[in-house]
């Protein structure tokens, strides 16, 4: 019995000494477990995009987007996104495939692991429209009576809030989004866009 009590006492003392050492060293910080390597002027990002279609009156355009920015506080870059939206009526099924080409400029503030910015993007949105008449084969319709296609080039502008969080090494979690507008049929059509993805900053 005395041996058992002595053993328990030794274990208790060892645990107390181990806890004291851990408290003296302090808690393990997030930076120690996932060290960040950043500070370079180049940032490349990409991810999943959601947007209001540039020309369709309703619906949701889904796709992917990517971009490259260069600089520290004030940055310049290029962005590219492709997405598709489909809407139907009684007579037609309409599909819009959009390619967004943008020149971008932003101001960025870095605080700890986070980077916060406001980005202005200007450039064309290329829209390819396909209109397919419902039940065209049953009605015996062919050619332009059954399907039509068209291209449009729409001047566009986007204003995005950008948030990046360094995860580990050069890798970041990126979220951006905000209002947009395109010149359609002699007038600006308001919309929005958002992107969720990853970034790389060597």
Interval 135-191: pLDDT, tens: 555 555 555 556 778 899 999 999 999 999 999 889 999 999 999 999 998 898 999
Q: What is the pTM of this model?
A: 0.76
Q: Which domain holds residue 73?
A: 30-200
Output the DSSP codes for 161-190. Answer: EEEEEEEEBTEEEEEEEEEEEEEETTEEEE
* Any domain includes 185: yes
Q: Using CA atoms, how far apart are residues 150 and 1, in angstroms rounded to an integer? A: 92
* Any domain includes 6: no
* Any domain includes 104: yes
Higher pLDDT, 134 or 196: 196
* Any domain includes 22: no
Instruction: Count other Cβ atoms within 10 Å, centred on residue 44.
Output: 17
* Any domain includes 42: yes
| pLDDT at residue 138, rounded to an integer | 56
* Any domain includes 120: yes
| pLDDT at residue 8, rounded to an integer | 43
User: What is the CATH number for 64?
Assistant: 2.40.160.20
pLDDT above 90: percentage of residues in the chain: 54
Higher pLDDT, 180 or 111: 180
| pLDDT at residue 148, rounded to an integer | 78
| pLDDT at residue 94, rounded to an integer | 84
* Any domain includes 8: no
- What confidence tier does 21 reach under pLDDT thresholds 50, 70, 90? very low
Higher pLDDT, 5 or 96: 96
* Any domain includes 154: yes
Across the range 64-85, mean pLDDT stands at 97
Domain count across the chain: 1
Q: Which contacts qualify for 187-190: CB closer than 8 Å, 24 or more apart?
A: 189/54, 189/55
């Amino acid at each position: 019995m005395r041996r058992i009590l002595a053993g328990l006492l030794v274990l208790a003392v060892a645990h107390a000494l181990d806890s004291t050492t851990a408290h003296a060293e302090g808690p393990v910080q997030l930076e120690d477990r996932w060290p960040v390597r950043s500070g370079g002027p180049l940032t490349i990002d990409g991810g999943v995009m959601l947007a209001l279609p540039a020309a369709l009156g309703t619906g949701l355009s889904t796709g992917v987007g990517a971009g490259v920015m260069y600089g520290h506080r004030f940055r310049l870059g290029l962005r590219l996104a492709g997405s598709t939206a489909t809407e139907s009526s009684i007579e037609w099924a309409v599909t819009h495939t959009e390619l967004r080409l943008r020149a971008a400029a932003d101001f960025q503030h870095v605080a700890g692991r986070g980077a916060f910015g406001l980005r202005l993007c200007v450039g064309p949105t290329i829209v390819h429209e396909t209109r397919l008449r419902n039940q065209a084969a049953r009605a015996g319709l062919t050619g332009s009576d059954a399907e039509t296609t068209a291209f449009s080039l729409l001047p566009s502008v986007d204003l995005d809030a950008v948030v990046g969080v360094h995860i580990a090494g050069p890798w970041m979690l990126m979220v951006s989004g905000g209002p947009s507008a395109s010149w359609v049929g002699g007038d600006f059509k308001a919309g929005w866009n958002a992107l969720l993805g990853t970034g790389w900053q060597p």
